[in-house]
Copies of this chain bind each other. A is one copy, B any other.
Amino acid sequence: MTLTWNRKHLLDLQSLSAWELTLLLDTARKFKRVGERDVKKVSALRGKTVVNLFVEPSTRTRISFELAALRLSADVINFSAEASSLRKGETLRDTVRNLEALNADFLIMRHGASGAPHFLARFARAHVVNAGDGAHEHPTQGLLDVFTIRERKGSVAGLKVTILGDILYSRVARSNIWALQKLGAQVTLCGPPTLVPRVFEQLGCRVVWNVEEAIRDADVVNLLRIQHERQRKTMFPSTGEYASLFGLNQARLRLLKPDALIMHPGPINRGVEIESEIADGNQSVILEQVTNGLAVRMAVLYLISGGDPAVEGDRFGDAVAG
């Protein structure tokens, strides 16, 4: 069977099949090698226009997508909600139609409302990539997490992955859950009961409120960021209390398997979700996640634009371009 890719957009991981995920991860592996070269650039998207449409601000993810596009030789326009026509009362649909009228080929969208990229994709001619929508999904983050696990562990199937923290409001958790389960991992969710409701069991996850129990036999522990900004009311007393009840400290580290991976989507709150030394320790793959995010995003842009998945890493496009 020849693998092909037929999706125009990347909106979520929930709707991807296991082999689509695998194709994305395999393609990302090739692009990771491009990032290690002296000239980190291929010509695959030469003459294409990528618009970073960040209605909710994010420096890190925006930069990662911007670099992914530049390294594919695309032109990049950054469009932020502040100081834009969205502020003048223009609808999102009109903003997007205007960008498309400028022949934008890709719309990378972050939005505070769940489903905003799906709404876009219903009428967009351009390729839409979800860069995080509300508490719904953050598919490229889920992909980079799974990529990191797979690269380190060889395979995802059969692994025990514990996601620890603010699950309720986390799009990162949701994208991870979908991807991990499709690839055969067993997912445990842990955190304060207010942030880890039992309803997640219906997605096939194990819900555990005792952190020691949750991490003891894990192959991977993925620590989520405490996102003050996304919590309407305070769901736990204080970050100090969170650290003592759920933070990864030396005592808890000793419970972990010695080869368990420690992950975090960043930016990390040292001393809250994770003790500083553990973040920099040899089980931590936090910075590898960042590197892999770039490779994953290049792969996404490449595949949804119709790039050939069979091409080898040194031949993306007709030539290496400046």
Contact = CB atoms under 8 A, between A and B. Distances in A.
Interface of A: 35-41, 43, 46-49, 57, 59-60, 63-64, 66-67, 70-71, 73, 75, 77, 79, 83-85, 88-91, 94-95, 97-103, 266-270, 287-291, 294, 320-322
Nearest to A227: B88
Contacts of A47: 37-41, 71, 320, 322
A266 B268 CA distance: 39
B294 A103 contact: yes
B291 A103 contact: yes
B85 A266 contact: yes
Given A47-B39, A322-B47, A83 B63 contact: no
A270 B49 contact: no
A38 B44 CA distance: 12
Contacts of A73: 322
A322 B46 contact: yes
Contacts of A89: 267, 269
Q: Which 9 A-B pairs have the closest CB atoms?
A: A39-B47, A101-B290, A321-B322, A90-B267, A41-B47, A85-B267, A59-B84, A101-B287, A70-B75
B57 A46 contact: no
A79 B60 CA distance: 9
How many copies altogether? 3
A98 B322 contact: no
Q: Which of A39, A59, A94 has the most chain B CB within a 10 Å cutoff? A: A59
A79 B102 contact: no
B43 A57 contact: no
A77 B83 contact: no
Given A46-B41, A267-B94, A321-B322, A83 B103 contact: no
B97 A287 contact: yes
A39 B101 CA distance: 16
A90 B287 CA distance: 14
A322 to B, nearest CB: 4
Given A46-B39, A322-B47, A77 B85 contact: no
A85 B268 CA distance: 10
Given A40-B48, A101-B291, A103-B291, 9 more contacts: A38-B47, A41-B75, A49-B70, A57-B83, A59-B79, A60-B98, A73-B322, A98-B290, A100-B287
Nearest to A279: B94
A320 to B, nearest CB: 8
23 contacts: A36-B103, A39-B46, A39-B47, A41-B46, A43-B322, A46-B322, A47-B71, A47-B320, A59-B84, A63-B79, A63-B102, A67-B75, A89-B267, A89-B269, A90-B266, A94-B266, A94-B267, A98-B266, A98-B267, A98-B290, A101-B287, A102-B294, A103-B291
Nearest to A91: B270
Nearest to A87: B59
Contacts of A37: 47
Contact of A90 (B95, B268, B294): B268
A307 B312 CA distance: 30
